[in-house]
Amino acid sequence: MQSLPESTWQDDIRPLERFSKLGSDLKVDVAIVGAGLAGLCTAYELSKTGLSVAVLNKTNIGDSATGYTTAFATYDIDTNLADLVAMYGKARAKMVWESGRTAIDWLEETLKHEEIEAEFMRCSLTVFAHSAKEARALDKEAKTAMAFGFPISIEQVPNLGFAQAGHFTLHHQAKCHATKVLFGLARTCAKRGVKIYEDTEVTKISGRSPLLETATGHSVQAKWVLVASYYPIGRQGVTAFKKARYESYVLEAKIPSGRIREGLYLDTSTPYHYFRVDRRGDHDRLILGGEDHRADIPVPAKNAFTVLHRYLDRLVGPGKHEFVRQWQGHMIEPSDGLPLIGLTKPNHLVATGFSGNGFTYAPITAMLCRSIIQGEKHPWQALYSPRRIPNLIQMAYKGRDYSKILLGGALKNLFKK
């Protein structure tokens, strides 16, 4: 990902310090591969337990998926709640949203407690339809969420600032600044005794008491390992065939202040579009993403960005926005709609398949992995277990979604006016 254009989060802030590469052999209780959001949230959570922790990162911190995100923190995940109910039943579907709610609370409390200034802001997520048919599906989604007791409003706000055919609002979600969160967590972890190494690629992991070999020539002997490298390294083991890479495109623009209420927005197209609006003094910043497609299908990025620019024109009006930058990144989509977090085999943990919800799943990884390492049962363990076998209903639901975005909106929408 290093050669891709920089995102606003990477441009906006440079870390005050860098961490050195691994310069000698090391023995720790827990080794974490990857200093992205998942690795650092988990390192922070483990730093409360008295266990010794080392985080090994191939690149510089921030040059990873977390640096390319749009940094929504929401429990309205990429699989619809109504679909989750059909795929997993009511209790587990509700548990998915509840775990996400706990995750956002974890993020808020951690940033506050550690005095990490990362532009974290509670705000609402507005989910909107483009057609009457989409609005009917949205209504079902909103009623399911309301029946579960989540904070949803279905009253139609008269003017959202853009055209739409119906919407609901999910309250008490959040947004933040991706690299401020990352660098803040890294600094805090280091202060709490976590050893962090950049420019240290893990090349091999072997043994039940995991031995990690690195490209620096030094190794780490651990009791536990968490592979939080976004896409798991080495042999895929139990995660094989349960995830795939999708490309997503993002553009940033300035729009007139107050044109659209500050917050998070999501449409119900397949592939969906998502945008956030941030107050920025004399203008508002709009960051829009979408046009996802399978990464191994060579859709020209130019087409995807063309379609995204048109979407922005429709949203705020041609000439009513000023282009700032664009970037793209990979999402890892799980075959049954839920991430793969937990034990792959004794003492080996993994966290992957976060879709567009890493800010929710990274804290979930932290809480789950801490429980597993401490030998405690956790109510979310089976739900997110990488060893679960997707059933036919789950595969069929997600297969339907993924077939619609195989080639992405860029091909479908390019010829639409």
Ligand X SMILES: Cc1cc2nc3c(=O)[nH]c(=O)nc-3n(C[C@H](O)[C@H](O)[C@H](O)COP(=O)(O)OP(=O)(O)OC[C@H]3O[C@@H](n4cnc5c(N)ncnc54)[C@H](O)[C@@H]3O)c2cc1C
Site of interaction with ligand X (CB under 6 A): 33-39, 56-59, 64-66, 68-72, 201-202, 228-230, 233, 248, 250, 289, 329-331, 354, 356-360, 362
Least Å distance, CB 133 to ligand X, is 26
Length of the chain in residues, anyone?
Answer: 417
Where residue 71 falls (left for φ over 0; alpha for ψ -120 to 50; beta otherwise) is left
Phi-psi region of 337 (alpha: psi -120 to 50; beta: other; left: phi over 0): left
Minimum Å distance from CB 396 to ligand X? 25
Q: How far is the CB of 417 from ligand X (least distance, A)?
A: 26
Peptide bond into 298 cis (omega under 30): no
The alpha carbon dihedral of 119, 121, 125, 126 has a sign of: negative
- Minimum gap (Å) between residue 255 Cβ and ligand X: 18
Q: Is the dihedral of CA 275, 45, 196, 211 positive or negative?
A: negative
> Smaller CB distance to ligand X: residue 135 or 353?
353
Q: Which of 95/308 has CB closer to ligand X?
A: 308
Closest by CA to 247, choosing from 308, 205, 192, 199, is 308
Q: Which is nearer to ligand X, 42 or 385 (CB)?
A: 42
Q: Which is nearer to ligand X, 69 or 413 (CB)?
A: 69
Q: Locate tokens 């802001």: which residue?
A: 121
Q: Which residue has the tokens 């619609």?
A: 404
Minimum gap (Å) between residue 74 Cβ and ligand X: 7
Distance between CA atoms of residues 19 and 22, nearest Å: 9
Q: How far is the CB of 5 from ligand X (least distance, A)?
A: 12
Residue nearest to ligand X (CB): 36
CB closer to ligand X out of 54 and 145? 54
In eight-state DSSP terms, residue 68 is: G
Q: How far apart are the C-alpha atoms of 246 and 173, rounded to whole Å?
A: 25
Q: Which is nearer to ligand X, 225 or 316 (CB)?
A: 225
